[in-house]
Amino acid sequence: MRAVESRPLSSVKREPQRQRRNFPVRIRYVAALAICAWAFFYFWHAERPQLRQLAAENAKLERQLNSLQAEQRTLQTEKQQLNNPAYIEKYATEHQNLVMPNTVPFDLQSPSKSH
């Protein structure tokens, strides 16, 4: 006769329970994987294009801010110059064709080439 290996009865009962315990654990892993996959899909197709659009808009606003700051610096410089009487006289002469009293205006023009 062959010797039959005998197992305790308690170990026989535990094997099916282990399979039952692994089943909920597997479901948790599958559920976690499904949630991660959905989150990746949502980010890639919904959030990522929106982030790119916002980054482009941010870059555009940065350029606009830089240009406005440069304009502000030039206006501040012009404001300071407008307090200088010499600058006002030069500006009036060059841009408005005004002259000071007792000054003779003259304009030097190159001879015309139409001869």
Tens digit of pLDDT for each residue in 14-73?
A: 555 555 566 677 888 999 999 999 998 888 888 888 889 999 999 999 999 999 999 999
Statement: the pTM of the whole predicted model exceeds 0.75: no
Tokens of 113: 């080439």
Residue 103 lies in a domain: no
Tokens of 13: 């009962």
Spell out the alpha helix ranges (H) of 43-84.
Answer: 48-81
Split at pLDDT 50, 70, 90, the class of 91 is confident
In eight-state DSSP terms, residue 46 is I
Total domains in the fold of the chain? 1
Residue 57 lies in a domain: yes
Mean pLDDT computed over 80-99: 88
Closest CA to 90 of 18, 115, 82: 82
Residue 30 lies in a domain: yes
Tell me what pLDDT residue 4 has.
57
